Structure formats: C-alpha cells, structure tokens
Amino acid sequence: QVQLVESGGGLVQPGGSLRLSCAASGSIFAPYTMGWYRQAPGKQRELVATITSGGDTNYADFVKGRFAISRINGKNTVYLQMNSLKPEDTAVYYCYIAARGGSWGPGTQVIVSS
C-alpha cells in the first residue's frame, strides 16, 4: 500500500506564488513517475505536470512557463512551484504516483483570489 501526503496549498492573490509538496510512503522501494493533477469545481480532473524517475518533465499547456515540477533524486518526493497564479488556477491539487497501479493523495486546496 502507498500513501501520499500533500502540503502547501492555501489562499494567494493573483500573481502570487505557492509551492506544493508531496511525499510518498509505504511499500515502494524505487522511484516512480509522479505528477500533479487538479480539479476545479464542476470540472474534470486534469493533468498539470508529471516527472519521471529520471527527471523528465511534462506540462499542461496552461501552466508552461509558470509552474515547475521537481523531485528529490532517488526519492518519491515531488514539488510543484506555482508562479504567476491566476484565478483560474483555483482547484484542488492532487499528487499522483505511478506505483502499484497508481495512487492518489487526498488533495490540497489552492485558491487564487483578491
């Protein structure tokens, strides 16, 4: 079993920044691809960014140039640096790890509002 714990969400003004963190624990003994997804009210969950065990990254077009995903080498800990936040970035952000069929964190709320 794999557990994910996210942190770093909150309320921020437009143009501000937040950094999300996610740490995986449990029965995993190697680094796996991890990612961040988000779900806004009334919308489907969507990909934000992913990072492989080797550090290759992939971003949704709507966050390119504003968000950056990173991880600790060899660890299943991932970060999402979010800059130039917009009101439309408001959502619950979920951490994901592609281990043991895939596991999700409980989510952390991000609200971008003045």
pLDDT tops 90 at residue 73: no
Give the DSSP H or E segment for 4.
strand 2-7
- 77 backbone φψ class: left, alpha, beta (φ>0; ψ -120 to 50): beta
> In this prediction, what percent of the chain has a pLDDT beyond 90?
87
Strands 57-59 and 108-112: unpaired
Mean pLDDT of 43-70: 96
Cα–Cα distance, 27 to 39 (Å, whole number): 27
Query: CA 41 → CA 51, 83, 111, distances in Å?
Result: 26, 21, 12
pLDDT of residue 6: 95
SS (H, E, C) 61-82: HHHCCCEEEEECCCCCEEEEEE
